[in-house]
């Protein structure tokens, strides 16, 4: 297992198309293990494959209190949704930004687990929101896309500035 580098907005790789997982190989197992380790290391509750540069349809999450129950969703689909909630969200690919966006209150998600077995979950609360957020990543979508163009522009500027500062500091070190 290894911790992978998380790609930061506005990197175009976060906007690319992803393809369905069609083989349950040792490479896939390694990728899943890396994603879980990277998520924990970054203290996140979810991580999608495109965030580490893998254009594949899978994500991991852990919304348990003790952060000891990772779950894997491969080729996930939301097959039903109901209600609407305002959700305060952040994203490991958009560090330092928290904004409120609309989400469905309850969802039904179908996916494959790490062994390739199909499962279905009816979810509400944080778990439902996390699945919606991570599934958006697989479609090249970020939570800030739900905000006004002006807000999106400000966030983009802020992140580019942070990146410039980080590069400068690295050069000076």
The reply on whether position 101 binds Ni ion by CB under 5 A is: no
Identity of the residue, 32 or 91, whose beta carbon is nearer to Ni ion in the bound complex? 91
Q: Identify whether the C-beta of residue 46 lies closer than 8 Å to the C-beta of residue 93.
A: no
Identity of the residue, 24 or 42, whose beta carbon is nearer to Ni ion in the bound complex? 42
The reply on whether position 58 binds Ni ion by CB under 5 A is: no
Catalytic residue among 65, 134, 163, 171, which?
134
Using the 8-state DSSP alphabet, how is residue 156 labeled? H
Q: Taking the complex as a whole, how short is the minimal distance between the CB of residue 41 and Ni ion, in angstroms?
A: 15
The reply on whether position 35 binds Ni ion by CB under 5 A is: no
Distance, CA of 117 to CA of 108 (rounded, Å)? 17
Buried b (16+ CB within 10 A) or exposed e, 7-37: ebbbbeebeeebeebeeeeeebeebbebbbb
Q: Identify whether the C-beta of residue 34 lies closer than 8 Å to the C-beta of residue 71.
A: no
From 21-29, 60-68, 89-97, 108-116, span contacting Ni ion (CB under 5 A):
89-97
The reply on whether position 91 binds Ni ion by CB under 5 A is: yes
Q: Which two tokens stand for residue 41?
A: 């290391």
**Annotation says 134 is catalytic:** yes
Q: Catalytic positions, please?
A: 134
| Footprint on this chain of Ni ion (rule: CB under 5 A) | 91
């Amino acid at each position: 297992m290894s911790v992978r580098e998380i790609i930061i907005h506005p990197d175009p790789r976060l906007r690319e198309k992803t393809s369905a997982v069609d083989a349950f190989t040792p490479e896939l197992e390694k990728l899943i293990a890396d994603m879980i380790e990277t998520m924990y290391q970054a203290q996140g509750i979810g991580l999608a494959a495109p965030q580490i540069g893998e254009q594949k349809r899978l994500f991991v999450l852990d919304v348990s209190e003790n952060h000891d129950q990772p779950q894997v969703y491969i080729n996930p689909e939301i097959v039903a949704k109901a209600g609407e909630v305002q959700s305060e969200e952040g994203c490991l690919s958009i560090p330092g930004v928290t904004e409120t966006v609309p989400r469905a209150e309850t969802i039904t998600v179908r996916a494959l687990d790490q062994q390739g077995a199909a499962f279905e979950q009816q979810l509400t609360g944080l778990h439902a929101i996390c699945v919606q957020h991570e599934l958006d990543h697989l479609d090249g979508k970020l939570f800030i896309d739900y905000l006004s163009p002006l807000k999106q522009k400000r966030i983009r500027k802020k992140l580019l500035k942070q990146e410039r500062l980080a590069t400068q500091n690295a050069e000076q070190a």
